[in-house]
A and B are shown apart, each in its own frame.
Chain A
Amino acid sequence: MSQDIFPPRVRRWLFTTNHKEVGILYLVTALFFFIAAGLLALTVRTQLSVPDNNVLNADLYNQFVTVHGLLMIFWVLSPFAFGFANYIIPLQIGARDLAFPRLNAMSYWFYLFSGVAIIMSFIFGAPDLGWTLYSPQTSFQFTPAIGLNVGAAALILITVSITMSSVNFLVTVFKMRAPGMKLRNMPVFPWAILVTIFMMLYAFPSFLAAVLLLYVDRAFGTFYFSSIQGGALLWDNVFWFFGHPEVYIVLFPAIGLIADVIPTFARRPLYGSKYIIGSMIAAAIISFIVWGHHMFVTGIGLTSTKLYTVTTIAVSLPFDVMVIAMIETLIKARVKLKAAALFALGAIALFVIGGITGVYLASVALDHALRGTYFVVAHFHYIMVGGSIMGLIAGLYYWFPKFTGRMYNETVAKIHFGVSFIGFNILYFPMFLLLDMPRRIQTYTADTGWGPLNSLATLGGFIFGGAQVLLFLNLVVSQRRGPPSGPNPWDAWTLEWSLPSPVPAHDFDTIPTIAEDGTYRFGNGSSYPNGSAHSGDSKVGNGLAYSHLEGMSPWPIVMAFAAFLFFLGLSIGQPSSPTPVSYKPFWPLIADGAILGVISLYGYSRERFSGHEESHVESWPFREVPNVKLGIWTFLGAEVIFFGVLIGAYFFVRTNSATWPAVGELFSIRNGFAMTLVLLTSSLTAIMALASAKIGSRNGLIAGLLATFGLGASFLYIKATEWIELGTHGVFSVASGLPATSYFITTGTHGVHVVAGMCMTVYLLANTVRGRYIKGDYHAIEHFGLYWHFVDIVWVFLFPLFYLI
């Protein structure tokens, strides 16, 4: 594809894979969605400002509230943080780029197009159920508008984006640190991103599975979430299993950022950085076992409520450690109150208020009274806006000089802080007092007495929103006309400040070396500790020179656009029958997306796959594991959760059902046995293909790959005939009940994975014919094998679950 049809400036931003430029794209786009979500919020606040108001009718009100929440959580908070992560993490760890630059670019374009989809959902009737999308309201019966389908498509696309980013950052942080940059020497911000990535990796697959099941419920009339056998509770579990880690996913990057900002302006090392990092890890682990506190009123039983009360209180403890460590850093420090420091300090204060109120909600008794009221709204806004957004704005002011080489106007920035802080508290504090006002109501009557506090909150909203205009004006003007900042205006001591501002395309002239005690010298010759008392001298650079990596590829944006068209086509079809509900897909868009996707996959595969792997880097604990292999195993880890949720959903609905077909009543055990043998044999042929590649046998490799493909096709043939047999009798179609729903969807998802594996086989065969993989470069065969064997492992469980039990 010729890139020359675009002017150079446009080409640069459309096709870049450079981490800094991708970071800027994330930041700008996230700020755009911040404005959009903010305007939705201001409209909602206007509606609620006085009793019996009618600025927004009930339908629009619900849509505005829902899309505001979805935008802020998915399209603002995390992408804003990952804009910083993209730009700064490689610099702070001494790497030249992320491990997989094109994948990074593709993550961004998937994010952008997913955002386009969620905004487009307004055309079709945007989701209007709150960001939590509770069942059974999401069923066609209660929400016939296809805007929810489009919203689901947007969520699927952004989950794919996040999974790609997770794999990329994990491999980068573990495998690409500069010599001497041991994990214990890393600043807190990369640690915070690392912990965030862990949570993303294991939480988002659950959400993806949930949204996919929701999608098939609506598109094919299945019953996962609309059944009376616990459908609503199933959604609650799989959603909140993701949902609670998600709130820390959006918070931790801001905490890490604050932990970098505070020491800089306090002019002393961060107190207890190891304890902060340990606390983040502890909180991340505990975050996976607290989700039930969102379900205290669903009747989950005393044992569960007790457990979740304990774990919810326990999860607050690591945050206490983090806050205390930051306060200790500030005690007796002469803090330079620049805008970044003010926002960081403000974020801590507001986060503490939000956190304390969260502990109240851990009490089951209090939760019963406060759940679903504005007390909860205030609580999470103090965390997410007060803690996270304010922290991220601190990062914006902190790193703006590094991005642009210019200083912003400090006076305007301080006014921005003052007005924001005051406006924020006027907006949200009254909501703590509205603890008898339910959430998500379009209006209220005057006799409730809620009017004055709502009016006050609305006033605060406009003050807070108006203050952000100062932010944008300041940064836009300063980016062009601000005075030069120099490389290190804050006299900070993390590695990014050793580089010129703005940072050149290749980052480091030579990769720095960090001394054994974690110190490194740069800039004006001063030595700074990396969180510890410094001793001795260290020098930046050890003579290792690296060539600039190639930077441009059109395929990330093309592939993302193809996925966007494909999922849009799946989403915007009109209902073809009311009972059982099913939607007719919009085939032209699906076809366009599929064709473009195949073309882009082909183009992508022809390019070099990943960045150069440096030999002299810190890579413990994966020293002997190549980057791509680590990336694939990381991806498979996410797949474990994804299939775990699908299988778990099957267990859930089955356990909740009074009757279920007996063994052998519907499914032929022989079919299941045959499919298992076929797939096991295909794993054997994949092993034989790898063995042939290792010994350089081209014919053996082709035979192995062909056999694997053929066995995969046989598996699908048996599966297809089974499906047709079940469907034609009319008693067991995808919408005929929970046994059918769970069977078709779980085995169908597995089948899609088999098809994907077969496509990989075709690609490998084509390359083998051209002479690849037999001269020592057999790793692609090995990597394919890792995926294929995983698909086999999934079936090893599906066979007994569906055919034998």
Chain B
Amino acid sequence: MFAILVGGTDIEFNLATLQATIPYNYYVSILLGLAGMKAILIAMFYQHLKYEPRSLSSWVIIGLVIASLLMSLSFLQLHGH
């Protein structure tokens, strides 16, 4: 798991050097996607959420959903402002 996390970080680092060759939206999406993947792996395997009762992982997801709501709706406002 550590190797995967380091590998993912290495990909991010190398992507930054290729930034000029990748369309910006794809670049940002890939980076955030990699960050999200790493976060999920840390949560599942380092924080042991994979092995905890489902009620606990559902609990965690609630916070993420609410945080996402805040950001999404705020950016919807920005888009229309």
Contacts and interface: CB of A to CB of B under 8 A. Distances in A.
Interface stretch (A89-97, A145-153, A601-609, A679-687): A679-687
Contact of A307 (B56, B60, B76): B76
A663 B81 CA distance: 27
Given A648-B74, A684-B2, A673 B13 contact: yes
Contact of B47 (A230, A786, A803): A786
Interface residues of A, number: 63
Given A230-B81, A299-B81, 6 more contacts: A637-B62, A644-B67, A651-B71, A655-B75, A793-B42, A796-B42
A301 B79 contact: yes
Contacts of A652: 74-75, 78
Interface in B32-81: 32, 34-35, 38-39, 42-43, 46-47, 52-53, 55-56, 59-60, 62-64, 66-71, 73-81
A663 B32 CA distance: 15
Nearest to A237: B74
Interface string B5-28: 110010011011001000000011
Nearest to A622: B55
A804 B53 contact: no
Contacts of A663: 16, 19
Interface string A196-220: 0000001000100000000000000
Given A237-B77, A669-B16, A793-B42, A648 B70 contact: yes
B46 A687 contact: yes
Max count, chain A CB within 10 A of own CB: residue among B35, B52, B70: B70
7 contacts: A202-B63, A202-B66, A241-B70, A633-B59, A644-B67, A644-B70, A673-B12
Contacts of A634: 59
B9 A680 contact: yes
B45 to A, nearest CB: 9
Given A633-B60, A645-B70, A648-B74, A624 B16 contact: no
A800 interface: yes
Nearest to A793: B39
Interface of B: 2, 5-6, 9, 12-13, 15-16, 19, 27-28, 31-32, 34-35, 38-39, 42-43, 46-47, 52-53, 55-56, 59-60, 62-64, 66-71, 73-81
Contacts of A69: none
A746 to B, nearest CB: 14
Interface in A762-805: 785-786, 789-790, 792-793, 796-797, 799-800, 803-805
A302 B80 contact: yes
A625 interface: yes
Nearest to A170: B59
Contacts of A622: 53, 55-56
Interface centre among B5, B35, B47, B68, by most chain A C-beta atoms within 10 angstroms, is B47
B35 A796 contact: yes
Contacts of A797: 32, 35, 39
Contact of B64 (A241, A300, A640): A640
Contacts of A304: 73, 76-77, 80
A683 B80 contact: no
Contacts of A799: 9, 12, 35
Given A664-B16, A680-B6, A796 B80 contact: no
Given A237-B74, A645-B70, A800-B12, A638 B38 contact: no
Contact of A677 (B9, B38, B63, B70): B9
Nearest to B46: A789
B16 A303 contact: no
Contacts of B80: 300-304
Contacts of B46: 683, 686-687, 785, 789, 792
Interface in A676-698: 676-677, 680-681, 683-684, 686-687
B48 to A, nearest CB: 8
Contacts of B27: 805
B42 A625 contact: no
Contact of A621 (B16, B55, B68): B55
A656 interface: yes
Contacts of A407: none
Given A241-B70, A677-B6, A683-B46, A230 B78 contact: yes
Given A625-B55, A793-B39, A233 B81 contact: yes
A623 interface: yes
A625 B53 contact: yes
B63 A292 contact: no
Given A637-B59, A651-B71, A804 B81 contact: no
A555 interface: no
A300 B19 CA distance: 33
A651 B81 contact: no
A339 interface: no
Contacts of A789: 42-43, 46-47
Contact of A292 (B28, B31, B77): B77
A301 B77 contact: yes
Nearest to B32: A800
Contacts of B64: 640
B19 A633 contact: no
Nearest to A638: B63
A37 interface: no
A687 B53 CA distance: 20
Nearest to A295: B77
A804 B59 contact: no
A416 to B, nearest CB: 40
A681 B5 CA distance: 10
Given A289-B73, A633-B56, A800-B35, A641 B63 contact: yes
B42 A792 contact: yes
